[in-house]
Amino acid sequence: MKAHTKETQATMTPAKSLQFLKEGNQRFQNNLKANRNLLEQVNDTSDGQFPFATILSCIDSRVSAELVFDQGLGDIFSVRIAGNFVNEDILGSMEFACKLAGTKLVVVLGHTSCGAVKGACDHARMGNLTALINKIEPAVAAVKEPKDENLRNSKNLEFVDNVSAKNVELTIENIHERSKILSEMESNGEIKIIGAMYDISTGAVEFYE
């Protein structure tokens, strides 16, 4: 499989880009990697890059977007931060990726048993991590069940995963509210912004369509 070129990127649509990621995740689950020569892709992308998707995911060592979607060099922009939320810098990176570099799809990828989300559920406080946790805590408050405070913590993995899903939803809302560029591009059909959840126990990605 060759690296994307300006010509192949131009043929990509938001829907086609999403299908590429779905097919890549199926290959990953079945341990069937696409046939690609990474060193050849190094050479092919030395003069430019033409990715088709931008993926915001967690720093979790088990959730590498390139691996779980079976993508090669030059295929995706990968933005990683604990808890997969957005700030001004990440939004600027996404705007660059879509408006200037031509990606057609933005994926906010959460995952099960997320450590950052667990920290938010427990209202953890530690150094600079405190400010990061504060950005995820709105998702904790937005999940109304269970009401019993004894069950609203990191020991309740169902609650943790529900908060992770809500965090993806709120992150997409933040993208729409805080990035006029990305919102207008989506309204014009140039890009699609979509949420997804990676299951660390199966390797499967569920897209929120």
Selection from 170, 13, 176 nearest residue 83 by Cα: 170
Q: Is 98 annotated as a binding residue?
A: no
Distance CA 189, CA 9 (A): 16
Q: Is 75 annotated as a binding residue?
A: no
Please name every residue paired with 208 in a beta bridge, in sequence order, or none if there are none: 195
Residue 182 structure tokens: 């990305």
Q: Is 111 annotated as a binding residue?
A: yes
CB 163 within 8 A of CB 171: no
Distance CA 197, CA 178 (A): 23
Distance CA 99, CA 185 (A): 8
Residue 198 structure tokens: 């990676």
Q: Is 58 annotated as a binding residue?
A: yes
DSSP one-letter string for 107-154: EEEEETT-HHHHHHHTT---TTHHHHHHHHHHHHHH------GGGSST
Contacts of 19 (CB under 8 A, 6+ apart): none
- Known binding-site residue numbers for Zn(2+): 58, 60, 111, 114
- Known binding-site residue numbers: 58, 60, 111, 114
